[in-house]
Amino acid sequence: MAIDLGTVNTLVWVEGRGLVLEEPSAIAIDSTTGSVTAIGAAADVLSDKEPQDIKVLHPLRDGVIADLEATAAMLHGFLRKARPRNGLLRPRALVCVPSGATWVERRSVAAALDARRPRYSV
C-alpha cells in the first residue's frame, strides 16, 4: 500500500487494485464530542455549510503538517476506507509526506499508522 499525503488531495494505491482512493485532505470534527464526523470528500462538502458544532480542518498547509492529531485521524480514516476486505493481516504501507515535514512529523505519521484508533481532542 502506498499513501501520498498531499496538501490538497491524499492518494492511496494498493498493489493489485491500483489507485483506490483520491480524496481531499480534509477532516470534519464535532467540537462538542471531539469525534471525527467526516473525512475526505464528505468533509470538504461540509466546509461550505459548516454547522456550528462541526469544524472542517485541512491539516496539511503549504506542504507541511499543520495539525498532527487531525492528520493522524484523517490518515486512519483513509486507511479504513482503502483496506482490503479479505485480509486479516494489517497491510504494509509506504507514506509520502510533504517535503517540508520535519523528522518529528515524519515519525509521528509513522506512529499514526501504528495507532489502532487515533482520537482527536478539541
Give CA–CA dist 118/73, Å, rounded: 5
Quick check: is 13 in a domain? yes
Per DSSP, 66 falls in state S
Quick check: is 120 in a domain? no
Q: Which residue pairs, CB below 8 angstroms and at least 24 apart, start in 17-20?
A: 17/84, 20/82
Number of domains into which the chain is organized? 1
Print the domain residue range for 36: 2-114
CATH number at residue 50: 3.30.420.40
Quick check: is 89 in a domain? yes
Tens-level pLDDT at each residue, the chain (122 residues)? 898 888 899 999 988 889 999 999 999 998 888 889 999 999 988 877 767 888 999 988 877 788 888 888 898 888 888 876 666 566 778 888 777 778 887 887 777 677 655 555 44
Quick check: is 121 in a domain? no
Quick check: is 119 in a domain? no
pTM: 0.81
Quick check: is 68 in a domain? yes
